Amino acid sequence: MDKLKLIKLKEGLVTFFAPDVRFYSRGIFLEPAWAPVFYNPRMKLSRDIGVVIVEAFSDYLNRQELVVIEPLSATGIRGLRYLIENKGRVSKLILNDHNPLSYNVIRTNIKINKIEDFVEAYNLDAELLLYKLRSEGVRPDIIDLDPFGSPSYFLDTALKVIKHRGMICMTATDLPPLFGTYPLTAYRRYMAKVYRTEFYKECGVRILIGFVAREAARLDKGIYPLYSQATDHYIRLCVLVLKSRKEGLKALNKVGFLTYCNNCLFRNSSHGKIDSDCPICGNKVKVMGPLWLGTLWDKKFVKMALKSYIKKQYLDKRGVKLLRTMISEVDAPPFYYKTDTIAHKYMFSREISPTLIVEVHAKLGYASSLTHFDNKGFRSPLPIDDLVKLMKKVR
């Protein structure tokens, strides 16, 4: 601890010690990864939402006394908030970090919050910890993977350890591969082809879920997405894991491919035959996948999370808007459009408000919504040629 420059902070209802990011800055640049122990204050909103997701999971399955494991804990703040801000729901919290400095910070933060009776702390490799707990008969209700980079390295072990009808949450910050900037890395890491599109955030989420579904099916398990988010510099995903070959096949049947034309913006998803030519303009299409073609959220679950979020008035108010937008997206079509991309491609004199487009869709009886992925995005069931005709009428 003497080697660290720590400061005392409060986040949510938890007081804790974390590295002073300013002390480890390089000139005017602040990067949490430069500190000997990782703590990113910009992820507070993610942790706020994580708190209510734990409560929603408890209510969703009517399950109390949850066992929660965070194998990559750093300061432990995420897991500590799950425990302290969900009293009576989380009965046991297991924190771990391979970094000895992080381990010492975790122990200090447990002590100052006086929760030693509810928390175990380890200084082990993340996968080794999970296998150790499995050998001891520990089957957690929730495993939260919050690595620096990709969760893919830890997913296999987490799927083997999680209990039936448990939840695995994960953060992915390796966005360039998932968003199509580095397609070869995505192909190697997630075994999927992805290209850059205007709806790249949704593609990234669906690539990740598709990978999780395939990894789970290999272990005779199925997954069901409860919550998906792509904002700022990360993707956040929570899935229900079901120990069932039938559920594994059911999930695999929701994995398919996307064809996309960057000439006219046509897009279409498919589980079967894929045409190489765009049916609208005749241009060669790009094929992406395998990726998830099912729903990204469980509406009941997200509504429960929203109810909890509103109740906890100390949380970041941005979360309420985010969750409400997601609820509106659940029943709307996949693969959103963007007003600026359409305006540029079809040479509109100005962009049209996505809110106005959604209102026009509603008047015509079409399922449509805004999207949390992009403030210029909207969802529409119309093919691009019909959508452009509609937008020209409302300009």
The predicted model scores a pTM of 0.96
Cβ–Cβ < 8 Å for 369, 379: yes
Domain 336-395 - what CATH class? Answer: alpha beta
Could you tell me where the DSSP H helices lie in the chain?
Answer: 44-60, 77-84, 100-112, 126-135, 152-161, 175-178, 183-190, 200-218, 245-252, 299-311, 318-329, 339-345, 354-363, 384-394
* Domain locations in the chain as residue ranges: 6-270, 336-395
Tokens 């009576």 belong to: 88
What pLDDT, on the 0 to 100 scale, is given for residue 274? Answer: 87
- How high is the pLDDT of residue 273? 81
pLDDT at 28: 66
Q: Please report the pLDDT score of residue 272 as a whole number.
A: 81
What CATH class does 6-270 carry?
alpha beta
Query: 94-131: per-residue pLDDT in tens?
Result: 999 999 999 999 999 999 999 999 999 999 999 999 99
Helix (H) or strand (E) holding 16: strand 14-19
Q: Which amino acid is at 115?
A: I
C-alpha distance from residue 302 to each of 48, 162, 171, 322, 324 (Å):
14, 22, 18, 10, 9
| C-alpha–C-alpha distance, residues 219 and 240, integer Å | 15
So what's the pLDDT on residue 128? 98
Low-confidence stretches of the chain (pLDDT beneath 50): none
HSE toward the beta carbon, residue 96, CA cutoff 13 A: 23
